[in-house]
Amino acid sequence: MSLFNEAAPPKLLNDILAATADANFAMASEPVVGSLLRTLAASKPRGRFLEIGTGTGVGSCWLLDGMDADSSLITMDNDAAVSAIAQRHLGSDPRISFVVGDAEQTLRELESESFDLIFADSFPGKFYARDETLRTLKIGGLYVIDDLLPQPTWNPDHQQNVDKLIAELDNSPSLRLVKLAYSSGLIVAVKITS
């Protein structure tokens, strides 16, 4: 047995992945990203979690698997059809709340410094509305983003957006971060000041 075998997946993941394939949704989180999310969620007992970009619920499933019974997750997406897949499979879990609509508007309405971990898996929260997103993160909270290494679905000019994002995060006085050439490319940042 290799040390680097995949971690055991959450119980509901295979059903979600099957529904994801049926929906031809190609933007779900990779298993190694999910395993990292589960581990980071487990580090925040009684945590409040925010996911921007529910998709079909793959990332949500991993986060829930790491959360304790006293934690909560708000997950948002503007695509009702893919969110419906997540809601069908995960909606019976009382720890999760779904928001379908404009993430930027919802982020403006959320309380400052209220989340222990934010997984920004979409353009809002990562490429725009980042200030609104980071405003909601507690000091000591984790900000996780992925899809930072070149992807076959990228537009030719998207690399410059990624480069700008990474430079801005690198130069932020309120964050300490690590860049991981892992999976699709990740940053895990800790908020150290408001």
The tens place of each residue's pLDDT in the chain, 194 residues long, gives 455 666 789 999 999 999 999 999 988 888 899 999 999 999 999 999 999 999 999 999 999 999 999 999 999 999 999 999 999 999 999 999 999 999 999 999 999 999 999 999 999 999 999 999 999 999 999 999 999 999 888 888 999 999 999 999 999 999 999 999 988 999 999 999 99
Residue 93 neighbours by CB distance under 10 Å: 14
Question: Any idea where the domains of the chain sit in the sequence?
Answer: 27-191
Q: What pTM was computed for the model?
A: 0.95
Q: Give 187's strand partners.
A: 145, 179
Rounded-to-integer distance, Cα 67 and Cα 95, Å? 9
State whether the Cα torsion 153-166-86-109 is positive or negative.
negative
d(CA 53, CA 102): 11
CATH code: domain 27-191 is 3.40.50.150
